[in-house]
Structure 1
Amino acid sequence: MLASTSRCVRLQSAIVQQRQRALHDLVTSVNKPYIAYGPPGRSANTGHVATVFGCTGFLGRYLVAKLAKSGTQVIVPYREEDSKRHLKVMGDLGQIVPMEWDLHRDDQIEECLRHSDIVYNLVGREYETKNFNYDAVNAKGAQRIASVAAQAGVGQFVHVSHLNASHDSPSAFYRSKALSEDLVREAFPAATIVRPSIQYGYEDRLLNNMAIWAIWWKLNHAKTKIRPVHVLDVAQALANVVSMSSLPGTFNLPGPSTLSFKYLLELVSTVTYNPPSVAPVVPKRVALVLAKAAQKVWWPALSPDEVVRRYIDDVDLPGDWDKFGVTPDEIEDHAISYLRRYRSADNYSRPVVFPPSREPSESYNVA
């Protein structure tokens, strides 16, 4: 009798504790019940399940890490076996679930997202290959994933575009990103479309390339202006969408400052203690010829469309960081972390002396 009474008391206590939970701990945006439990952090369970298409890319690995660290179970679709190995250790046992997929297979896409309440599409191609062009990956691929997600009843769909996405852009890459936004909205009207600018980090194609191939950043006499943003800031903004019931619309995520290639090359030279590049400025016509020739030798080399993008300034639009609860960092605050590897042994521990103050025309505060 006493044992039965004790069990009833414990059961009533558990019911009271469950009733004290917040609403977002009990239901998702599509009213699927779930319960968060465990201590905060890696070993917790938020009850959310997220699928991150494009998880093996630059931004994807950081988004997976942030989702898994918060206790969200993450489905990581992959194409090659070795491309997802580094993601497995980002979460506790059972939190990272790898699944093989093909962009052309609706059944495999559906299998990857059927249990998820939020789906991220980070799939993108900055250069074309013989198997995938810009429209096939950036536009039609995004449409396919969004359509399958809508049919499967997924509550939230987050699509990553680009700050410079435009139908009138001279760059085929930017045009494909603009087309992808239209197709995603058509397939998933409540989608969250995020437009980050060029990102920097450990594996980026900005600071690392400037340290190695400075000549290609001298195109347009290094006058092109961009708004670089920290990849961790973008990943955090995307991860914060999980806790939001719905966030339809298009949101710009540029860096806090507009900087010229000239300034960034000077920053790289100052941080690495390597002398500035003395390579001549390559005319656009010559650069396009060299880029086209390089595609026949080694396709990850600078593509013709990337040459075109070297002449396009980032658009001047205010950021929507406040919608995601994130404040972006300046590139100078993190440059040493990503560029120290390019220092010589003698200069490895030397302090950083930043370049002269930016000119007013090269920098402004987005806020």
Structure 2
Amino acid sequence: MEWDIRNEGQIAECLRHSDIVYNLVGRDYETKNFKFADVHVTGAERIAKVAADHGVQRLVHVSHLNASTTSTSEYYRTKAEGEERVRSVFPNATVVRPATMFGYEDKLLNNMATWPIWWKLNFGETKIRPVHVIDVAQALANLMSTPQLTRTVSLPGPSTLTYEYLLELVASVTYRAPSRAPVVPKPIALAVARAAQMAWWPLINPDEVERRFIDDANVPGDWNVVGVCPDEVENHAITYLRRYRLAKDYPRPVLFPARPT
């Protein structure tokens, strides 16, 4: 069904007969028509308000593990502000905070395989807790049959890794030589990202550069609440990365680098 996040009538048509509404709307880059606040704050509040006005019993609002009103990233700040706005109009909403997800057509493993230079920022030392998209999807599905949770549900991956390790993982699984691209200093990366905004298609943006320097939040997961045991990235890496192997390497065994200590 066609709908516009600024059109309350269309939003109402989409959800007015629902028992539960999931808001998965988000954007990790801005355009001339939609800024982070338009989607994560006012848009999220509008969806929650329409749901409340039409008697929807349950609302599940998907945010991000690193949502924080004090973050240096506008993406993370607006995620946190959106949570507050949602709860102001739909007090019983369940807020779900997944970490960065990996899966088909993701922007993690696939981007590392094609643009490793942008993941070397901060010398690859940034900590990340990647989570399988299938696990998050199952958690969201399980919420449908779980008693209403008026709380925040954090869904980080099972392990805390680094960008450097994931780059080594991608190189090992694909049988390609590790990237020899230099580590770009943050000021230069920001300048390149600002210049890239002249293109009409999405490229790396300044806020994305900022996020490359922010560790994932060190908070406990709430997987027991949703009845899911999250899987490690190594168990699925070949599924999403085999396509980057050369033909001669397709049948070769899967090898993993040593995990960081």
Aligned mate of 2:172, from 270, 280, 285: 270
Distance 2:200 2:249 in 1: 33
Are positions 1:156 and 2:58 aligned together?
yes
Structure 2: 5+ residue stretches without partners? none
- Give the length in aligned residue pairs: 261
The equivalent residue for 1:342 is 244
Q: Is the 8 A contact 1:295 1:301 kept in 2?
A: yes
Aligned mate of 1:209, from 99, 105, 111: 111
The equivalent residue for 1:135 is 37
Amino acid at match of 1:349: P
User: What secondary structure, in the 3-state scheme, does the structure 1 residue paired with 2:84 have?
Assistant: helix
Deviation at 1:297, TM superposition (A): 1.5
Distance 2:260 2:11 in 1: 48
The equivalent residue for 2:91 is 189
Deviation at 1:282, TM superposition (A): 0.6
User: What secondary structure, in the 3-state scheme, does the structure 1 residue paired with 2:208 have?
Assistant: helix
User: What secondary structure, in the 3-state scheme, does the structure 2 residue paired with 1:177 have?
Assistant: helix
- Equivalent residue runs for 1:326-337 within 5 Å: 326-337=228-239
The equivalent residue for 2:207 is 305
Q: Is the 8 A contact 1:129 1:299 kept in 2?
A: no
Distance 1:268 1:255 in 2: 18
Deviation at 1:354, TM superposition (A): 1.1
The equivalent residue for 1:359 is 260
Aligned mate of 1:108, from 10, 19, 23: 10
In terms of Rg, which structure is larger? Answer: 1
Q: Is the 8 A contact 1:272 1:343 kept in 2?
A: yes
Amino acid at match of 1:286: I
Distance 1:223 1:299 in 2: 29
- Equivalent residue runs for 1:1-367 within 5 Å: 99-356=1-258, 358-360=259-261
TM value normalised by structure 2: 0.99
Identity of aligned residues (%): 64
Deviation at 1:299, TM superposition (A): 3.7
Q: After TM superposition, which residue ranges in structure 1, 4 or more long, deviate above 2 angstroms?
A: none
Q: Is the 8 A contact 2:146 2:226 kept in 1?
A: no
Structure 1: 5+ residue stretches without partners? 1-98, 361-367
Higher relative contact order, structure no. (Cα contacts within 8 Å, ≥ 6 residues apart): 2
TM value normalised by structure 1: 0.70
Distance 2:7 2:30 in 1: 20
Deviation at 1:245, TM superposition (A): 3.6
User: What secondary structure, in the 3-state scheme, does the structure 2 residue paired with 1:341 have?
Assistant: helix
User: What secondary structure, in the 3-state scheme, does the structure 2 residue paired with 1:100 have?
Assistant: coil
RMSD of aligned residue pairs (Cα, Å): 0.7
Q: Is the 8 A contact 2:161 2:260 kept in 1?
A: no
